[in-house]
Amino acid sequence: MFSEIDKSFGDLAALTNVSLAVKEGEIFSLLGPSGCGKTTLLRLAAGFLFPDRGRITLGGRDITSDPPEKRALNTIFQNYALFPHMSVRQNISFGPRTAGWPADRIRRETERLLALVQLETAADKKPQQLSGGQKQRVALARALILEPKVLLLDEPFAALDLKLRQRMLTELERLQREVGITFVFVTHDQFEAMSISDRIAVMRGGRIEQLGTPKAIYETPANRFVCSFIGDSNLLTGSRRGDGRAMDVAGLGVVVLPTQATRDEAVLAVRPEQVQLSLAAPVDGDNVFRGCILDRVYLGSHTRYTVDLGVLHLQAQLPAGSSLTALAVGDQAFVHWRAQDGTLLPDGDGGVP
């Protein structure tokens, strides 16, 4: 879909040599911090901007220079832009009416979309009478009724509260599976992207840092930036020892690695859920260190601990029901993890957000 895209605004390079292909029928997310270029890429796809270099294709057709109305795409923005003087039914049917569809087709398709987004009982209400979630569903129905090949969504849930956002993610995934249209979803929220995406492109500084499934990106991050941006992680930096199967961490000691380090400086990532806590040193363990509980946060499904190891702090996550969740701030404990539960990052100099 995108091939060697460059886009600058004055001296600011918003996108640099970006290439990626979105598969037909998938939910594809562009994920990254503010200013990474994800919305610029979406606006290029929609035709609201044009690249300085590169090509954009849709279904094999070059649409790089086409205006928005000539592209088989539709866009939903953070501001749903519903017509306040029109009812839900009128908002949904606005596009077909403008396109000159026959009246019977407009009526039939409008009722079908009302049923699809479960708004039949709200069909005659005005936007000001709707909840945030209902407005979002009207915007979705209005975009879908024109049967675009691709639906572009620019952080559509940013204004919703957490519970409603979670519910709308489920609704969005259900709708996509029913209609089978390709969705390209822009978000800075890793939870949103991980929840519904078939694949994710993690972006930073106008470039793609990693592209893959949520599982692949979480379990095998390409660098420190991706590892830190997707979920929480303990990052340990040290000097390679011997054959590279271990490293020295200053002030901590020897840490056993999951694979052989190829650089003199190695960076190991260990997710908090992989770190175990115990009152006594385990008989068998690759990486065992003694520390003091510095902080304890109860989060319902799990409890998050910060353990002071002297030279660094390590986070550990225990599931609800664990007998060790009674550990309190100031208690002594051992942290340990298996070598294979860590991830040796391929670059030791990647930036952290």
DSSP structure string for 287-335: EEEEEEEEEEEE-SSEEEEEEE-SS-EEEEEEETT-GGGG--TT-EEEE
Nearest to 222 by CA among 240, 238, 204: 204
Q: What is the rounded distance in angstroms from the CA atom of residue 186 to the CA atom of residue 154?
A: 5
Output the pLDDT for position 348: 46
Q: What is the rounded distance in angstroms from the CA atom of residue 153 to the CA atom of residue 314?
A: 37
Give CA 142 to chain center in angstroms: 25
Rounded to the nearest 10 degrees, the angle between the axes of helix 88-99 and helix 132-144 is 20
Residue 228 is given by DSSP the state H
Q: Give strand pairing partners of 154.
A: 186
Q: What is the rounded distance in angstroms from the CA atom of residue 236 to the CA atom of residue 255?
A: 9
Residue 76 three-state SS: strand
Q: What six digits make up the tokens of 321?
A: 């029901």
Residue 309 three-state SS: coil
Listed by start position, the domains of the chain span: 2-224, 225-344
Output the pLDDT for position 233: 94
Output the pLDDT for position 157: 80
Output the pLDDT for position 79: 77
Written out in words, the top-level CATH class of the domain with range 225-344 is mainly beta
Mean pLDDT by 10 residues, the chain (353 residues): 95 96 95 94 95 95 93 85 93 93 95 90 94 87 89 84 81 86 92 93 96 95 93 93 92 93 92 94 88 94 94 93 86 95 75 43
Output the pLDDT for position 88: 95
Output the pLDDT for position 177: 87
Q: What is the rounded distance in angstroms from the CA atom of residue 209 to the CA atom of residue 50?
A: 23
- Say yes or no: do domains 2-224 and 225-344 share a fold: no
- CATH 3.40.50.300 for the 2-224 domain, yes or no: yes
Output the pLDDT for position 347: 61
Output the pLDDT for position 351: 44
Nearest to 289 by CA among 255, 261, 323: 255
Q: Name the H helices within the chain.
A: 38-46, 88-99, 103-116, 132-144, 162-179, 190-196, 214-219, 224-229
